[in-house]
Structure 1
Amino acid sequence: MKLLASLAVAAAAISGSVGSPVDATDASILGGTPSSAGNHGGFYYSWWTDNAAQATYTNLDGGTYSLQWSGNNGNLVGGKGWNPGVSGRVLNYNGTYQPNGNSYLAVYGWTRNALIEYYVVESYGTYDPSSAAQRKGTVTCNGANYDILSTWRYNQPSIDGTKTFEQFWSVRNPKKAYGGAISGSVDTRCHFDAWSRVGMRLGSQHNYQIVATEGYGSSGSARLTVS
């Protein structure tokens, strides 16, 4: 599931479905909220951390979650959405996003058959994820321009254990401004169809599909409502 590291410094990408399906609402041990995944407030949530940062993930009412992280160390990602994902869903988000360093705000998910990890990046901190992947084209969705990219992960953790798999990316260009209030909509069909047109075909079986906040070697905070 996690990835900032995979493009920034080719570090590990760990599946967000790894972890027991428990409520991450109030657990805070070893300096942060332990990894977990499951259902909360009528939504699916996924939270993962490598425990290298001080990170607190909290599930709030409905589709709302909050995340605070610090320490400028480690990799973490969490958010709310649905499981399974679908190819025609429009995901809406609004709230606040305040990264300090390397971070993403993205629609994030996985498919099987084939095993694919995907991101639609709406905003990011100091690292542009399109700088280290193979550019395949562009697409305009919801009135915004996105760069289409792909890259491979070799023998890395995934939702199905250690595997080799491809990553698909749409990166908004220019990114949404961060540092305070942020909102938007992501039409997955627009992106998935654009990917298919350039030969990037998702698997036939969707796993989870969430609006995620990710951090790598950074600090920051987010409070977002997904609908």
Structure 2
Amino acid sequence: GAAGTYTVTWSGNAGNFVAGKGWNPGAARTINFSGTYSPSGNSYLSIYGWTKSPLIEYYIVESFGTYDPSSAATTKGSVTVDGSTYKILQTTRTNQPSIEGTSTFQQYWSVRQDHRTSGSVNVSAHFAAWASLGMNLGSHNYQILATEGYRSSGTATMTVS
């Protein structure tokens, strides 16, 4: 495995950033994580990854700050796993940055309703729930436990395995 710890502190951030640690390629694995996550403003803690053919950007959101990052997406269903219900959503990203350059692609979301900063994520359960809704993945690129922030501040220290 690619176990490791990362710390990120951000402030006065005018743009968007992602920091994290994980695997390449991603897989339908169980990801364990623990640590501290103290956002002020718009930020989220998620399993984050990409696939190719089809080109998909996906998030399994475990916690977020003031803004639900999936709020612009269309609700497709839900899945109950790892002690909480997750909303499942999908949206189209048009002419946005991707692992294949600027492109148009689908974005998949699972958003946990009971926030947490430690636990285990049964990634395969999310992939299966998405597939049951017609939300299919391609061949896996990277997959990380990510802290993302947008025009916000905060700190996070996470251990992932």
**Long gaps (5+) in structure 1:** 1-41, 44-61, 177-181
Opposite residue 100 of structure 2, the aligned amino acid is: D
Shift of 1:72: 4.2
1:52-201 mapped onto 2 (5 Å cutoff):
63-87=4-28, 89-176=29-116, 182-201=117-136
* 4+ residue runs over 6 A deviation: none
Larger RCO, structure (CA 8 Å, separation 6 or more): 2
Give distance in 2, aligned partners of 1:82 and 1:214: 17
Give distance in 2, aligned partners of 1:97 and 1:172: 15
1:224 pairs with 2:120:
no
Task: Encode CA deviations 1:29-57: one digit per residue, 9 max, x unaligned.
Answer: xxxxxxxxxxxxx73xxxxxxxxxxxxxx
Opposite residue 206 of structure 1, the aligned amino acid is: H
**Long gaps (5+) in structure 2:** none
1:206 pairs with 2:140:
yes
Give distance in 2, aligned partners of 1:93 and 1:100: 21
TM-score normalised to the size of structure 2? 0.96
**8 Å contact from structure 1 (residues 99, 220) kept in 2:** yes
Give distance in 2, aligned partners of 1:219 and 1:171: 21
Opposite residue 101 of structure 1, the aligned amino acid is: G
Q: What SS is found at the alignment partner of 2:71?
A: helix
Shift of 1:157: 1.1
Task: Encode CA deviations 1:109-139: one digit per residue, 9 max, x unaligned.
Answer: 0000100000000000000123211000010
Give the direction of change, closer, same or farther, for the CA distance of 1:213–1:95 in structure 2 (3 Å limit): same
Task: Encode CA deviations 1:55-80: one digit per residue, 9 max, x unaligned.
Answer: xxxxxxx5100000000421101100
TM-score normalised to the size of structure 1? 0.69
Give distance in 2, aligned partners of 1:216 and 1:157: 16
Give distance in 1, aligned partners of 2:70 and 2:105: 18
**8 Å contact from structure 1 (residues 147, 170) kept in 2:** yes
CA RMSD across the alignment:
1.1
